[in-house]
A and B are shown apart, each in its own frame.
Chain A
């Protein structure tokens, strides 16, 4: 029998929630909290994570946690940070704001930009499952090309989503955010290292996590971690760190996989393998090639503090 304090150290986001079996976001959120530790306050946007961890009267959270609205996690966190500092209660406290891809890149963009620009000492975590999964798989600006969602369905005139993913990490870099990184639950140690590193840095931090969604992606529940791994190994989701505007680490894939290995097991891409889907597959291969080129060496993206001219 573990006492409550020990239990908190094991899981700050407790099991027993109502997330789907194999939910990539649940795995990632547990790892984020494990790395962040018990002196963390969380501002959580509306979305799956909020719904499946806090169905009244139960809560999975062993840390102080608040959900306000869909689009304001970054602003709520900013208010917490400034107030705790003003009251002299900020010492040893860490603040995390977290949201899904829609809450980050679409509806929450204004509040997020304000938080970045004002330089609040907050780690913002985007759990990107590439669509509005909580409301039944609608397209967001982080849905990849070709993906079937309920609002980007394939049809006689459509091959699924038409647009590329909005480049959130570079948008964060453009704000002068000193630490920007991506990760997936397929590499828990890398994910947790990045959370810990981010929380050591003063100022805004942005961590973008690709989190497979079992029903939304149309995959078997045991495949969600595997899908995250394949997203990285096909270069459809590049894993990197950008510090002070400079790529300091880009994950090199030992054995690059063809994009089809990632796409084929997923129901949301099934239509691309029918006759006529080739141009969309080609676009996805192009994206993988562009991402693979990141490993040629650290690239300067933004002339931020500390960047070489």
Chain B
């Protein structure tokens, strides 16, 4: 059904179509509209799920952990500080191999407190053992949530769908919502390989010492590596049923002949596509790589997409303070031991600062003029660089 929906509502509809047994969350801007919509669905009887209003994000994550452990399909959503408050449970969910699905409405991290969009929250917990998928628009958000449950339950690895706060969550866009029967066909009921059940007692979360802990981490790692092919395949299966569904791990455009390739994640890709088209009209051959899957990291796919170009600029809304943008570091590492393009890190759009098409074009032009590898903040306010004069 084609309709016009706010991103948050579109996500709530997608979650409803996946027939979760448990929905539990705690409100935080800019995730709130998702849980408000799910609350409305429960109140109106449109969503037949256990529904818990938790006392904190920490509680919410723990509650979905419990629901997943007894064999239920469990969903939560959060953002920024809420995600950080969940962190201990997030690692635990992944270690217990429970296929929880979460929406992260990406937002900057305090201090200073800032409720606007960047991607520092999700990027900061990349090592937790969750699959992290970044979406570009609200249609992709819908499609990716439906795929997320399938990926999670097949691998027994939790999936976090990351969508830019406000830019997507609060923006109305046309979306095509699948029919319930189609989703049911694509996503069968969850049949867990293990669960807490009095008919078959099972101990979950035991104490594991130096004699066996490392192997548990090895298994998660190997399954995360394997997850890359599952994510690709589920994407193809989705495409077969619904005729769309985003790309698998990455999406590469016009990279073959490109002098400069730009890379990013999330909603910025839309603006970047326009910027690339205009640059090509100007005569600058620019390619584009969209990283949809951040964890597991699609090292080979990105490597192959950009290896032909001399210059790469990674534009990202996060920073590993004291180093550079995290995505940039990881792309650099993909060329370990071989000749690498010059790969530069551009930190932009932190705390909701707009990234204009002009700025993106300027990054590409500057890279073409000076390909040297570097780390730069773009869009800084000169008047504040010396600090706030009140101090």
Contacts and interface: CB of A to CB of B under 8 A. Distances in A.
Interface of A: 8, 38-41, 43, 50-51, 54-57, 59, 61-69, 71-72, 75-87, 89, 93, 110-111, 113-114, 117-118
A80 B196 contact: yes
Given A77-B66, A79-B74, A83-B66, A110 B201 contact: no
Interface residues of B, number: 44
B62 A54 contact: no
B3 interface: no
Contacts of B201: 8, 38, 61-65
B261 interface: no
10 contacts: A55-B209, A56-B206, A56-B208, A59-B203, A68-B205, A75-B58, A79-B63, A79-B65, A82-B52, A83-B72
The residue in A40, A59, A72 that gathers the most chain B C-beta atoms within 10 A of its C-beta is A72
A192 to B, nearest CB: 19
Nearest to B63: A79
Contacts of A114: 54-56, 59
Given A38-B198, A40-B198, 12 more contacts: A55-B206, A56-B208, A57-B206, A72-B59, A77-B66, A78-B52, A78-B63, A79-B67, A82-B52, A87-B70, A87-B71, A111-B59
Nearest to B55: A114
A68 B96 contact: yes
A66 B196 contact: yes
A101 to B, nearest CB: 20
B196 A111 contact: no
A83 to B, nearest CB: 4
A111 B58 contact: yes
B14 interface: no
Nearest to B66: A79
B72 A87 contact: yes
A288 B24 CA distance: 44
Contacts of B50: 82-83, 85-86
Interface of B: 21-22, 24, 48-56, 58-59, 62-72, 74, 88-89, 92, 96, 196-198, 200-209, 212
Contacts of B53: 118
A59 B206 contact: yes
Nearest to A40: B198
Contacts of B64: 79
Contacts of A67: 204-207
A79 B25 CA distance: 11
A86 B54 contact: no
Contacts of B203: 54, 59, 61, 64-66
B22 A75 contact: no
A69 B63 contact: no
Given A43-B66, A69-B89, A57 B212 contact: yes
Contacts, number: 158
A66 B204 contact: yes
The residue in B24, B70, B209 that gathers the most chain A C-beta atoms within 10 A of its C-beta is B70
A41 to B, nearest CB: 5
Contact of B63 (A65, A76, A84): A76
Nearest to A67: B205
B220 to A, nearest CB: 16
A39 B196 CA distance: 11
A59 B238 CA distance: 41
Nearest to A8: B201
Contacts of B54: 75, 114
A6 B369 CA distance: 80
B72 A86 contact: yes
Contacts of A38: 198, 201
A113 B49 CA distance: 23
Contacts of A75: 54, 58-59, 62-63, 65-66
Contact of B198 (A51, A64, A86): A64
Nearest to B26: A114
Contacts of A62: 201
A51 B207 contact: yes
Contact of B21 (A81, A83, A110): A83
Contacts of A41: 70, 196, 198
B74 A63 contact: no
Nearest to B195: A64
A108 B69 CA distance: 20
Contacts of B21: 83, 86-87
Nearest to A42: B196
B198 A69 contact: no
B206 A78 contact: no
A8 B49 CA distance: 33
A84 B22 CA distance: 9
Nearest to A114: B55
A110 B52 contact: no
The residue in B58, B203, B209 that gathers the most chain A C-beta atoms within 10 A of its C-beta is B203
Contacts of A87: 21, 70-72
A69 B92 contact: yes
A83 B207 contact: no
Contact of B89 (A51, A61, A68, A110): A68
Nearest to A118: B52
A199 to B, nearest CB: 14
A109 to B, nearest CB: 10
A83 B212 CA distance: 31
A80 B212 CA distance: 28
Given A43-B66, A65-B204, A86 B88 contact: no
Closest A-B pairs by Cβ, 9 of them: A79-B66, A114-B55, A86-B50, A75-B62, A83-B67, A54-B206, A83-B72, A72-B62, A79-B63
Nearest to B52: A82
Contacts of B204: 64-67
